[in-house]
Amino acid sequence: MKRRKPSRRELIKGSAALGFSLFASPLRAATPEPVAITPQLIDAAKREGKIVLYSAMDLPVGEKLGKAFEAQYPGVEIQIERSGSERLFQRIGQEFSSNIHAADVISTADASHVLSWKRNGWLVPFVPEDVAKYFPGQYRDADGQFVTSRIWLSSLAYNTHLVKSAEAPTSFADLLDPKWAGKMVKGHPAYSGTIMTATFQIVRDLGWDYLEKLSKQRVMQVQSSTDPPKKLALGECAIMADGNDYNVVMLKEAGQPVEPLYPSEGTPTISGPTAIFASAPHPNAARLLQAWLHTRETQQFFTDFTAQYSAHPQVTPKAGRRKLSDIKLMKEDAAGVEKMADEIKTRYARLFRV
């Protein structure tokens, strides 16, 4: 008999039963003092020699970032465990329930996850100096337990060899045209945090009725938000119904026949927070990575090579790329995603039969 995966609610209840409080304290803790990268922190990280990062980033992206960190701080090795955010959420819940604490740092594509982990008391407060100085309040936790490391969009897109520009859809509503039946690809909210967040925003703004109609369009279903852009570039489908826009932008810049589309109803917006676990086996290396990741230099480097966006106000988009301010965006709501996550997974699976 196939074992059923526990829901988010069950994982949270299980954690509480093991002695983890759903609320770390009835009183709000004081925000910790900002921490700079000092020789002492670097030496302490080197003595630990390693850091384990659980990440929802595209593996090539995570690896490039990891190599840059290792080059700047030789002697500290990064081990990256990459998976979709929803799978990572399940894994972390199961590991903590079994008293396994392997991860130092988590970078998720579903901002609702950090709300749950914070309530469980699983995160440690840590505020990098640049975060305290520059990051707007909406992109960092008031108690210092997580910070938005990257921002991106779940856009539409099309293959320019298969679809003429004048005929390309310009809205979510356009995807319901019978001419696109059997020609679209999209990710799955039970695997991908990007798709979970995007699905929530679409359901909130357009209703379940929209997804019900879309499900009748014989849409190719893949897992990660990184998969639809690849299928699009290979010509396996003509239209991307969701996925991440940054892979489309990078593929286009590499000469692939793809073009991102930002729907008239608004484009789902995703923030990817990073946090340090209180049980981190390598706490100093974790703090060094968190501080380094949010410096202006690293954020600019990351933005340049991934085509994502930064909450650091001193970071600028690479020439030729669109600014967030030029795109109509759907509003983020991590708490809303958390409340609807199980419903989204259940109803989506029933509609799309996946």
- Cβ atoms within 10 A of the Cβ of 259, count? 19
Does residue 211 carry a pLDDT above 90?
A: yes
Of the listed ranges 56-60, 216-220, 229-233, 272-276, the one predicted with least confidence: 56-60
Asked if residue 268 lies in contact with residue 210, where contact means CB atoms within 8 angstroms, the answer is no
Mean pLDDT of the chain: 92
Supply the DSSP string of 26-69, one letter for each residue.
Answer: SSPPPPPPPB---HHHHHHHHHH-EEEEEE-S-HHHHHHHHHHH
Is there a contact between 265 and 206 (Cβ–Cβ < 8 Å)? Answer: yes
- As to burial, measured by CB atoms within 10 angstroms (0-12 exposed, 13-18 middle, 19+ buried), residue 347 is middle
Report pLDDT digits (tens) over 244-299.
Answer: 999 999 999 999 999 999 999 999 999 999 999 999 999 999 999 999 999 999 99
Comparing 2-11, 75-84, 185-194, the range with the smallest average pLDDT is: 2-11
Helix axes 112-120, 8-17, angle to 10 degrees: 10
* Amino acid identity for residue 43 in this structure: D
Rounded-to-integer distance, Cα 15 and Cα 11, Å? 6
Which sign, positive or negative, has the C-alpha torsion 302, 308, 311, 317? Answer: positive
Q: Using 50, 70 and 90 to split pLDDT, how confident is the model at 7?
A: low
* Position 1 pLDDT exceeds 50: no
- pLDDT tens for each residue of 112-171: 999 999 999 999 999 999 999 999 999 999 999 999 999 999 999 999 999 999 999 999
Residue reference for tokens 């590499």: 254
Greater model confidence, 304 or 27? 304
Place of tokens 């609610």: 9
- In this predicted structure, the answer to whether residue 19 has a pLDDT above a threshold of 50 is no
Exposed (0-12), middle (13-18) or buried (19+): which is 351, by Cβ within 10 Å?
middle
Those residues whose C-beta lies under 8 Å from the C-beta of residue 9, and which sit 6 or more positions away, are 342
* Amino acid at residue number 303: T
pLDDT given at position 73:
98
Provide the CA 141 distance to its chain's centre, in angstroms: 16
Confirm if 169 and 207 have CB atoms less than 8 A apart.
Answer: no
In sequence order, which residues have a C-beta less than 8 Å from that of residue 85 and are 6 or more positions away? 56, 108, 109, 110, 113, 192, 193, 194, 196
User: Is residue 225 within 8 Å of 195, Cβ to Cβ?
Assistant: yes
Residues 274 and 290: beta-carbon distance below 8 Å: yes
Say if residues 260 and 252 touch (Cβ distance below 8 Å). yes
User: CA-CA distance, 196 to 203, in Å (whole number)?
Assistant: 11
Assign 57 to helix, strand or coil.
coil
The predicted structure's pLDDT at residue 17 = 35
Mean pLDDT of all residues in 335-350? 97
Please state, in angstroms and rounded to a whole number, the distance separating the CA atoms of residues 277 and 105: 6
Count of alpha carbons within 13 angstroms of residue 334, beta-carbon side: 20
Proportion of the chain above pLDDT 90, given as a percent: 90
Residue reference for tokens 């965006």: 329
